[in-house]
Amino acid sequence: MLPFISSHFNTNFTYEGTNIGKEPPKGGKNACALCGNHRRLFDPPSLFCSGQCGMQKIRRNAIYYTDRFKQNHWCEKCYNRLKMEEPIQLDDGRETKKSMLLKLTNDSVPEESWLQCDKCQDWNHQICALFNRSQNSKSTCFTCPKCYIKEKGDATSDGDTPQAGSKTVKGADELPHCSLSRVIEDGLEKTLSKAYEKVAADRGCTLSQVEKADGLSVRVVSSLEKKHR
Ligand SMILES: [Zn+2]
Ligand SMILES: [Zn+2]
Ligand SMILES: [Zn+2]
């Protein structure tokens, strides 16, 4: 995927499609055209109780209760202690009542969302296509990186097949850094150099004889901040 990343990706792409956030049809061609994987599952989010137990983690597959904005959660024990008539204050200052809380099971398995290219109809994970849902409205159209590169190449090279390394395609290292990406990239470099030293010591060879993963770049495409009380 990295060779396809362009630093002006978001500004040059247009998004018009309706198939944002839906899933590719089951069976048939349902892998991401960019990474070749099917479902990309995330670690389930950790939920913490807002009740009297004091921010205890709600166990996996346990019953819990939540407000309709899914901001605050209560374990079953703390829910039972809530009084029907007493107002409940949420983190953002809104109020709710016990009778308004929803009963759920802590068994969700979040996965990366999909979007479909309006040109070639291929399905891409949003993360693989560097698609930022919060910055792009649902009423727009999406051109995948492969089609984008093809179009750019067709427009600039008199019909020759565009090369992945052509001038129109920039590398991940040309995307802007942020403090988080610098910390992760520095950490990655340090961890790798330690690993190379260990391999060299284990093999009894010099550091230059160890094969290395050169040219790795880390950039943060999206990051969320979650507030816990
Ligand atoms: Zn993918
Ligand atoms: Zn609790
Ligand atoms: Zn496409």
pLDDT of residue 156: 62
pLDDT value of position 61: 95
Question: What stretches in the chain show pLDDT beneath 50?
Answer: 1-18, 159-167
Displacement of CA 96 from its chain's centroid (Å): 31
pLDDT of residue 21: 62
118 CA to centre of ligand 3 in angstroms: 7
Q: 56 CA distance to ligand 1 centroid (A)?
A: 35
Residue pair 202/29 in contact (Cβ under 8 Å)? The answer is: no
Quick one: pLDDT at residue 11? 36
Q: How far is the CA of 105 from the centre of ligand 1 (A)?
A: 29
3-class secondary structure, 50 = coil
Residue 49, pLDDT score: 96
Q: Which residues, at least 6 apart from 219, have a Cβ–Cβ distance to it below 8 Å?
A: 172, 175, 176, 177, 178, 181
pLDDT for res 178: 92
Write out pLDDT tens, residues 88-125.
Answer: 999 989 999 999 999 999 998 888 889 889 999 999 99
SS3 72: coil
* 102 alpha carbon – ligand 3 mean position (Å): 41
Among all ligands shown, which has an atom nearest to the Cα of 128?
A: 1
DSSP 159: T
Task: Find the 30 Cα to ligand 3 centroid distance in Å.
Answer: 14
From ligand 1's centre to the CA of 146, what distance in Å?
Answer: 13
pLDDT at position 29: 66
Instruction: Give the position of tokens 């009778």.
Output: 99
Ligand nearest to the CA of 82: 2
Predicted pLDDT at 15 = 43
**What's the sign of the alpha-carbon dihedral 132, 133, 135, 136?**
positive
Nearest to 112 by CA among 33, 31, 45, 40: 40
Residue 34 CB-half CA count within 13 A? 27
Give residue 214's pLDDT.
86
Q: How far apart are CA 46 and CA 133, in angstroms?
A: 23
